[in-house]
Amino acid sequence: ETGVTQSPTHLIKTRGQQVTLRCSSQSGHNTVSWYQQALGQGPQFIFQYYREEENGRGNFPPRFSGLQFPNYSSELNVNALELDDSALYLCASSLPWRDEQYFGPGTRLTVT
């Protein structure tokens, strides 16, 4: 059984640019959640996808958007990048009837 994987590992972008981050969920997990973790802070919930539909959203602006594909993998897209978007972006997968969420290693995004 493979764990949650994310790509790329690191990314440097310029303010105003757009970025796409990718996540492959753990085998059999059809629910994917994205979190933003600023340096020295706990992760903050961005949104969740279940069966290719958004299933809840945290306090993030619309320039944060996502997709889930039929194989349960997911993308996080951020438009018009701001300096404050610099963070570790984490993907977590889970089964819909289970509480446990398993995180990937994250993508470190730096916006300059």
Q: What are phi and psi of 24, to 5 degrees?
A: -110, 125
Token pair, residue 96, equals: 């819909």
| Contact status, residue 1 vs residue 98, Cβ threshold 8 Å | no
2 vs 16 by CB, closer to other proteins: 2
User: Among residue numbers 20 through 59, which ones bind other proteins (CB under 8 A)?
Assistant: 31, 33, 35, 40-45, 48, 50, 55-56, 58
Which residues, at least 6 apart from 25, have a Cβ–Cβ distance to it below 8 Å? 4, 31, 32, 72, 73, 74, 91, 93
Q: Give the span between the Cα atoms of 93 and 95, in whole angstroms.
A: 7
Q: Under the criterion CB under 8 A, does residue 99 sit at the interface with other proteins?
A: yes
Rounded to the nearest whole angstrom, what is the least distance from the CB of residue 56 to other proteins in the complex? 5
Binding-site size for other proteins (CB under 8 A) equals 27
Nearer to other proteins, 85 or 107 (CB): 107
Question: Closest distance between other proteins and the C-beta of residue 16, in Å?
Answer: 28
Task: For Cα atoms 96, 108, 89, give the angle at the middle one, nearest 5 degrees.
Answer: 25
Instruction: Give the binding site for other proteins (CB under 8 A).
Output: 4, 6, 31, 33, 35, 40-45, 48, 50, 55-56, 58, 90, 92, 94, 99-106
